[in-house]
């Protein structure tokens, strides 16, 4: 595309006026489009601009290509605006920018396991296109390395929660369509999904959904890949949900036994970092050390965005404990108090 | 900590340029797609049922397809899938 732009911009002046000017305008347009394309990679909100532009063109020129482009940009825009936020929240590599690929013909041998091809209807049915596109994207993106191990009903319920959040925040007018078309359909296929929906909503409102639950499930899935525990993974997931739920309900006065969960497969402790007073970080370092002494494998640090500097200090201090490895620092949609934005970190204990 | 932040920042920038394809087929192209998968004749003869609700799939009712265990499964358009049960 950029080569075409250069050729068009360097149009030979001997080409008669009208044609030459037209080619130059075309060249400039291509350059602008490339620039917008690059910008929209960094700032997905720019996709809205593109969507509006193609929407306008679609209304005035009834070309199928414009209709398709407008539909694709709307779906990509809704997904990518969220993906940008989710990339800092979910484990690295879980969600990538969405790119709509129109297919006309497809060989079955070239399809990947679990791959979906979705029918997109004309723009009049755009709500339906949008909710189907968003859900299909998330259901195929989550748990990229443990898809075979994590039970399908859990994966679908997780995708429903993330899609619901995306639609609520980015395209609220399509929420009813999402509930009527997608959630109802999935419940009909597998009623076990119902068990999760309300619990995931609660966990997500306090930052525990992506902050600890998803990460623990994914880590355990890696661990039990070739173990008999894989057969009872669904039960283990239920225990982890109930533990997270019990912990949230007990806040702010959480009894001692609820701070940790240790079974044959999952093993973690919560460390809620708050009260940023001088030297207070030592209390958290001591708790981290105690957690290691108790044989707990994962330490989840959860805190509020407003106490960011103090949380970073605590993370730095725990990093100095040789028995721990800092696996990742991530953003949270909500903090444990239910306020917007939080910070999380996962430490993994190194046992000999 | 600083090292990790820089690495995190670079990986974030990199991830913004990598995309995941979501395959879609436009309404008018459904027959061509089904034909390329050798399914169009079966659909026209009413031999394929929705893998969810078991209703017969027609060209109009086709909603999406999924490749599972080496087989292409067809599903009808969601609203029909729910309403016709």
A-proximal residues of B, 11-70, CB under 8 Å: 11-13, 15-30, 32-33, 35-37, 52-53, 62-69
B-proximal residues of A, 107-166, CB under 8 Å: 107-108, 111-122, 128, 132-133, 136-137, 140-141
Residue from A238, A233, A297 nearest A268 by CA: A297
Q: Determine whether the interchain pair A64/B62 forms a contact, defined as Cβ–Cβ distance below 8 Å.
A: no
Per the structure, the complete domain to which residue A258 belongs is given by: 206-349
Report the chain B residue with the minimal C-alpha distance to residue A183.
Answer: B78
User: Beta strands B19-26 and A116-120: pairing type?
Assistant: parallel
Q: What is the pLDDT of residues A16-26, one digit of tens each?
A: 666 777 777 77
Read off the pLDDT of each residue in A284-297 and give the average, rounded to a whole number.
Answer: 91
Report the chain A residue with the minimal C-alpha distance to residue B70.
Answer: A113
* A266 lies in some domain: yes
Query: Is residue B2 less than 8 Å (CB to CB) from chain A?
Result: no
| pLDDT confidence band for A115 (50 / 70 / 90) | confident
Read off the pLDDT of each residue in A162-168 and give the average, rounded to a whole number.
Answer: 91
Distance from CA of B3 to the nearest CA of A (A): 12
Specify the pTM: 0.77
In angstroms, what CA-CA distances link A119 with A54, A83, A124, B65, B76?
A: 20, 23, 14, 8, 10
State the pLDDT at residue A21. Answer: 77
Structure tokens at A323: 């028995």
pLDDT at A154 over 90: yes
Contacts of A243 (CB under 8 A, 6+ apart): A258, A261
Q: Could you say which residues of chain B have pLDDT below 50?
A: 2, 79-85
Structure tokens at B11: 């990986």
pLDDT at A180 over 50: yes
How many residues in total does chain B contain? 85
Among A13-17, A82-86, A118-122, where is mean pLDDT lowest? A13-17
State the pLDDT at residue A100. Answer: 83
State the pLDDT at residue A326. Answer: 93
* A113 lies in some domain: no
| C-alpha to C-alpha distance for A97 and A78, rounded to whole angstroms | 11
Q: What is the pLDDT of residues A199-247, one digit of tens each?
A: 999 999 999 999 999 999 999 999 999 999 999 999 999 999 999 999 9
* A264 lies in some domain: yes
| pLDDT confidence band for A339 (50 / 70 / 90) | very high
* A28 lies in some domain: no
Q: Tell me which residue in B17, B33, B82 faces A105 most closely, judged by beta carbons.
A: B33
State the pLDDT at residue A128. Answer: 83
Average pLDDT, chain A: 85
Chain B partners within 8 Å of A46 (Cβ): none
Chain B partners within 8 Å of A141 (Cβ): 20
Report the chain B residue with the minimal C-alpha distance to residue A119.
Answer: B25
What are the extents of the domains in chain B? 23-83
State the pLDDT at residue A86. Answer: 83
Residue B26 dihedral angles phi and psi, to the nearest 5°: -80, 150
* A287 lies in some domain: yes
State the pLDDT at residue A12. Answer: 54
| C-alpha to C-alpha distance for A16 and A38, rounded to whole angstroms | 33
Domain of residue A345, CATH code: 3.30.110.20
Beta bridge partners of A304: A342
Read off the pLDDT of each residue in A261-270 and give the average, rounded to a whole number.
Answer: 92
Structure tokens at A49: 């601009």
The total domain count for chain A is 1
ipTM: 0.82
Angle (CA) A37-A40-A43 rounded to 5° is 160
Distance from CA of A197 to the nearest CA of B (A): 19
């Amino acid at each position: 595309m950029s080569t075409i732009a250069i050729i068009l911009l360097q149009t030979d002046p001997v080409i008669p006026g009208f044609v030459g000017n037209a080619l130059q305008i075309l060249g400039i347009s291509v350059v602008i489009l490339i620039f917008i394309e690059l910008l929209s990679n960094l700032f997905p909100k720019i996709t809205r601009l593109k969507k509006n532009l193609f929407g306008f063109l679609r209304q005035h020129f009834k070309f199928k290509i414009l209709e398709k482009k407008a539909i694709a940009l709307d779906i990509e825009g809704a997904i990518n605006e969220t993906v940008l936020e989710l990339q800092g929240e979910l484990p690295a590599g879980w969600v990538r920018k969405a790119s709509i690929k129109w297919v006309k013909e497809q060989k079955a041998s070239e399809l990947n396991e679990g791959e979906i091809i979705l029918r997109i209807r004309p723009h009049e049915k755009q709500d339906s296109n949008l909710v189907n596109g968003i859900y299909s994207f998330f259901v195929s993106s989550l748990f990229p390395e443990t898809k075979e191990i994590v039970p399908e009903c859990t994966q679908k319920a997780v995708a429903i929660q993330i899609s619901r959040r995306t639609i609520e925040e980015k395209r609220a007018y399509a929420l009813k369509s999402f509930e009527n078309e997608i959630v109802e359909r999935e419940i009909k296929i597998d009623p076990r999904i119902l068990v999760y929906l309300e619990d995931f909503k609660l966990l997500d409102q306090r930052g525990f959904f992506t902050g600890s639950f998803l990460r623990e499930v994914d880590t355990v899935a890696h661990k039990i890949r070739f173990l008999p525990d894989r057969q009872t993974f669904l039960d283990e997931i239920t225990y982890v949900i109930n533990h997270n739920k019990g912990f949230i309900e007990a806040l702010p006065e959480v009894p001692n036994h609820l701070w940790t969960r240790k079974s044959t497969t999952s093993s973690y402790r919560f460390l809620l970092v708050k009260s940023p007073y001088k030297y207070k970080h030592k209390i958290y370092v001591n708790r981290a050390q105690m957690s290691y002494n108790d044989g707990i494998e994962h330490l989840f640090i959860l805190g509020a965005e407003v106490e960011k500097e103090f949380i970073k200090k605590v993370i730095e201090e725990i990093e100095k404990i040789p028995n721990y490895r800092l696996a990742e620092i991530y953003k949270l949609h909500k903090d444990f108090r239910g306020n917007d934005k939080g910070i999380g970190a996962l430490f993994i204990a190194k046992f000999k | 900590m600083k090292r990790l932040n820089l690495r995190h920042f670079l990986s974030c920038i990199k991830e913004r340029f990598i995309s995941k394809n979501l395959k879609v087929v436009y309404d008018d192209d459904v027959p061509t797609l089904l034909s390329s998968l050798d399914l169009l004749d079966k659909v026209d003869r009413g031999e394929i049922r929705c893998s969810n609700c078991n209703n017969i799939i027609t060209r109009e009712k086709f909603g999406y397809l999924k490749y599972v265990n080496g087989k292409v499964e067809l599903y009808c358009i969601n609203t029909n899938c729910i309403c016709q049960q």
